[in-house]
Amino acid sequence: MTGHPAILRLIRAHAAARPAAVALRTPDDTVTYRQLWSCAEQAAQALATRGVRRGDTVAVRMPAGPEAVVAMLATWLAGAAFVPVDTRTPAERLAHILDHSRAVVVLDKETELLEVPAERTTTTSPADPADGSTPLDDPGAYVVYTSGSTGAPKGVLVGHRALAGHVTASVDLFALGPHSTVLQFASLGFDVAQEEIWPTLVAGGTLAFHGADSTPDTAQLAAFAAELGVTVLQLPTAYWRMLCVELDGADGPSFAGVRTVVVGGENATTADARAHRRTPLAHTVLVNGYGPTETVITATALVLSPGDDVPGTAGLPIGKPVGDRVARVLDEDHRPVAHGEPGELWIGGALLATGYLYDAARTRERFVPDPYAADPGARMYRTGDMVVRREDGGIEFLGRVDNQVKVRGHRIELDEVDRHLLDTPGITSATAFTLDDGAGGNVLAAAVARNASGPDPRAVREHLRRRVPAYLVPGRIAVLDRLPLTTSGKTDRRAAAEAAATALAAGTTNAPDGPVEAQEPLERVLVLLRGLLLAPQLGPDDDFLAQGGDSLMALRVCAQLRAQGTSMHPADLLVGRTARAAVARAEHRDAPDTVEEEPAGPLALLPAQHRWLHDGDLPERDHFCLNALFTTDSGLSTRRLVRVAEALQRRHPALRTALCEDGTVVLKETDPADAVRTVDLAAFVPPERTARLEGALATAQTSMSLAEGRVFGLLYAECAEAGARLLLTVHHFVLDGVSMGLLVDDLELLLGDGRPGATATGPRAIGAALRDWVHTAQARADAAKWVAHTREFAVLRPDAEGPAPLPTLRTHRFRLPVEATRTVTHRLPAAGIAPHDFALGCLVGGLAAWTGEPVHGVDVYAHSRDVSPGDLDLSRTVGYVQSTYPAVLCWEGEGMSALVAALDGPAALPERRYGFDALRFLSPDPAELAALAACPRPRVRLNFRGHLLRMEQRAPGTVLRPAQESFGAHRSPLQQERYLLMAEGDIVDGRLEMSFKYSTVHWSADRIDELAGCVDRVMRQALDPSAVPRALSVARQPHTDRLADGGAR
């Protein structure tokens, strides 16, 4: 081992001293240091068998993961340098990299060892002195390719000594040790990946991989951090900026274990740092790193501990040199400038790249002798960045001195983009530049002129996409009659950028049908989405979320649409998921009012309300509320809140419902002022303010009165510097959980001076449609199906019988990994198995394993808004629309095949889930009433809410923001649960969470732990990757009919 590089010796030492320590971790597996070293040695022997020798290059084309780390270690053990290549690299660029690097072997995850064609194999190594690119005494560690001004990517060769020195410095900079877990976030083709990998392993820590196919969103990142025990996150500046916006003011327990956040890739601002301080990551050390690839990743860094003041500059300083480096700020004559004076940054010291592979001339141009160093052989690298050195010695970035830019962490030579644009048939002149993306970052854009038969912007992007990586494809392209020129006759890049920005803003170019004002709403949405997503081929039916969209982007789209005169809610995009569906939702909501306000008078009970009363009166029944608590702006007047309450009650008649003593329901004429209460707590400080606030919140919930029609309230509390709090509370008898989310949408719109749109379908219309339906022949057929389906099933026997008051309730939870959840939410629905069906089937599978009985009945909650009586539109209805129906399943066997077979029973049920209770209480046929009343009642309930949980978690920047205080007990403690087991399914932080609520009167914690373990095991067996494809091939089509009908609260 004495001849091996230092990094290898240190990793091997960990394998010898701590063999069982975890070196690599994925959501599904771990690799110890002993296993890592053993695998690397075996792979190195395989490489040697293939003829790999000292000085060769080996391409590693793999996604981030354990296999890639083994491949790189094996390459070093074989004496070669590796060339990391992103798996998404276009074929043409990949061919150039393999040709130029002279890789003798390509390591690919799919083919393990893929021999390079003979014409590309060479006996010349990167250490060949004839190329003038590297000294023989420091063979290359890796070659990474970056954008090149000639139009072709350039290979930067980093030697082992420089990398080892940087790794040692990074261990100190990031305070890494054996207890550190670093998430590899960067793709392999990005040099930052090397800084995530090697310092972690040299320190004896754990390198974690999220395993996702694409960049994780905020929820997924939080889930990965919690699941993998991540302590260090290294993120691109653009991603971190978006993360801070999404997390601003939100509670994020999933990031509790993270102690260091490293950002870099493009310029950060002090506003970004202050935003970081308002997130659940505020407790972390923030490291702002800077460094071109040629200076071996992070060359300078600013370290901000949680208690440090954020600098008063606009740009966040890039700090001081890291490790054995020096930073020189020089003028045009290469002389040092005074502190506070701008100059060009040159990086010197021992930790520089060797140079450009097989390009001695360029190496001599950029890596020059350092005249200020004591060592006559010292070099320094010209970064091309303008900076200023502060009085404290730190450095502040000002901008570029050449045509190189940073976009979303990628370094881009604009000249390279220009060349590729000019290679496009029909383009006569072109220039690339960056434009403000409206969110603190920038986007690559271009202006082109074309001949008469030249391509449109979409065709230009398609041409480029086949030849260059996605980050080199301009997201916005303006077609101009001609490009402006300088006095010397060259293209004036700055003037072209201004002309293009004007044209794009006016909608006179790169738009489907002329100016924005003339476009249809669908085209407006598509133009915005294509620009923001950098997805020029995005079609009207492409999935917004699958293309990388998220809640923040949805907000930006909606804000820009409003500025153009088109109304759309973020939920339209997030729920509709395609541009076409989002526009349809928005147009329906904003249609002119066609339904008049419902007058006061008698109402028919809805099926859910019948069940609520039939199951027995509740003690203190007035205290049973659904609540949403928010932080909002101070200064809201009582008059304004009363107007909001009036608008909500006018739009949603259910908020004026009263339950009379005889069990009938009426709509009342109400005074909206009675629904509003304000309290001023500005004079109090915590903890007294918190105590008084929580007392007011509790009073708001206990002040409801069903008999008087006091079923809805707004409580507004002024809290001085903490802003204000707004509680929305509604009695559960008048609405369900889905309705509560819709009500929150309207509340926010009204507070933001918006208009909810048409009056939604009210309870009177629903009641009339149900009364008509129960008299139909279809209802008779459905009743027969319900009676036949609800056959005998296992009777669940608790440890002890007896009442189960609410204070005795406990909850046990478990979560599936993120990737398993993605299978549930994305892959299974494509085969006809909806997430709520998956949860139902696996719950019965768990019950079967727990009890030894194969047949079980479960009462299932369904929102029942996709299939409604009389084909009414219930998409915006606020009311107790939820249905409860019995599902009886037989579970035999295991895995996905058992799940598919078990779901045959529910698949045969009527699609009108509301029909069971509607017929049980409203059937005109006495025999039907008796038969349905005699059906056995399940003692287990499932409520699969999916993403409906946490309605109060609004996207940052909206009028309503999350509040941290507890609103107290939403039900009277004298009330009891009516089921022995209450299972709930939610998607939380990208993971399926199953909860089991139970009473300690009925069950011990150990027994419920056993049940949860059984359900967890059944779910994982069903999601076994080896079994899913085969089993899904026989999944039956009828399941598809129910994909939309999930649970309800």
* Digit-coded pLDDT (tens) for 708-725: 999 999 999 999 877 899
Alpha-carbon gap, residue 683 to 329, rounded angstroms? 53
- pLDDT for res 233: 96
Q: Is the pLDDT of residue 1030 over 70?
A: no
pTM: 0.50
Query: Is 766-949+973-1042 assigned to CATH 3.40.190.10?
Result: no
Q: Is the pLDDT of residue 486 over 90?
A: no
Q: Where in the chain is the domain with CATH 3.30.559.10?
A: 601-760
Q: Is the pLDDT of residue 268 over 90?
A: no
- pLDDT for res 732: 95
- pLDDT for res 720: 81
Q: How confident is the model at residue 545 (pLDDT cuts 50, 70, 90)?
A: low
Q: Where in the chain is the domain with CATH 3.30.559.30?
A: 766-949+973-1042
- pLDDT for res 758: 53
Q: Is the pLDDT of residue 130 over 80?
A: no
Q: How confident is the model at residue 738 (pLDDT cuts 50, 70, 90)?
A: confident
**Greater model confidence, 1013 or 125:** 1013
**Greater model confidence, 876 or 866:** 876
Q: Where in the chain is the domain with CATH 3.30.300.30?
A: 420-589
Q: Is the pLDDT of residue 115 over 80?
A: no
Please say whether the beta carbons of 478 and 500 come within 8 A.
Answer: yes
- The pairs formed by 678-682 with CB atoms below 8 angstroms and a separation of 24 or more are 678/638, 678/641, 678/715, 678/716, 678/717, 678/718, 679/715, 679/716, 679/717, 679/718, 680/717, 680/718, 681/717, 681/718, 681/719, 681/720, 682/718, 682/719, 682/720
What phi and psi values does residue 196 have, to the nearest 5 degrees?
-80, -35
Q: Which amino acid is at 750?
A: L
Q: Summarize pLDDT for 156-206 with one digit per residue, the tens.
A: 999 999 999 999 999 999 999 999 999 999 989 889 999 999 999 999 999
Query: Taking the mean position of all CA atoms in its chain, how far away is CA 781?
Result: 44
- pLDDT for res 853: 95
Which CATH number does 6-384 carry?
3.40.50.12780
- pLDDT for res 409: 66
Q: How far is CA 395 from CA 26, 314, 319, in A?
A: 38, 13, 5
| Span 301-308, average pLDDT | 92
Q: Which amino acid is at 678?
A: T
Please say whether the beta carbons of 274 and 241 come within 8 A.
Answer: no
| Span 671-685, average pLDDT | 92
Q: What is the mean pLDDT of the chain?
A: 83
Q: Would residue 534 be called left, alpha or beta, if left means φ above 0 and alpha means ψ between -120 and 50 degrees? A: left
Smallest Cα–Cα separation from 239: which of 223, 261, 263? 263
Q: Is the pLDDT of residue 776 over 70?
A: yes
Instruction: Name the least confident of 38-47, 821-830, 1036-1045.
Output: 1036-1045
Please, what is the Cα angle at 345 between 240 and 360, to 5 degrees? 105
- pLDDT for res 523: 81
Q: Residue 517: exposed, middle, or buried by beta-carbon count in 10 A (0-12, 13-18, 19+)?
A: exposed
**Greater model confidence, 852 or 406:** 852
Q: How far is CA 208 from CA 183, 185, 194, 196, 820, in A?
A: 5, 9, 14, 10, 17
| Span 644-659, average pLDDT | 92
Alpha-carbon gap, residue 174 to 166, rounded angstroms? 12
Alpha-carbon gap, residue 346 to 350, rounded angstroms? 13
- pLDDT for res 559: 54
Give the 3-state secondary structure of residue 892: coil
- Per-residue tokens: 426: 């029909």
Q: How confident is the model at residue 889 (pLDDT cuts 50, 70, 90)?
A: very high
- pLDDT for res 251: 56
Query: Is 601-760 assigned to CATH 3.30.559.10?
Result: yes
**Greater model confidence, 674 or 989:** 674
Alpha-carbon gap, residue 209 to 24, rounded angstroms? 8
Q: What percent of the chain has pLDDT over 90?
A: 42
Please, what is the Cα angle at 933 between 927 and 936, to 5 degrees? 130
Would you tell me which CATH number, out of the four given (3.30.300.30, 3.40.50.300, 3.40.50.10300, 3.40.190.10), belongs to the domain 420-589?
3.30.300.30
| Span 60-84, average pLDDT | 94
- pLDDT for res 588: 60
Q: What percent of the chain has pLDDT over 70?
A: 84
- pLDDT for res 408: 67
Smallest Cα–Cα separation from 945: which of 578, 626, 558, 551? 626
| Span 342-365, average pLDDT | 92
| Span 934-952, average pLDDT | 78
Helix axis angle for 915-922 and 926-933, nearest 10°, is 120
- pLDDT for res 182: 96
According to the per-residue pLDDT averaged within each range, which of 57-66, 144-153, 546-555, 1025-1034 is highest? 57-66
- pLDDT for res 866: 65
Q: Is the pLDDT of residue 58 over 90?
A: yes
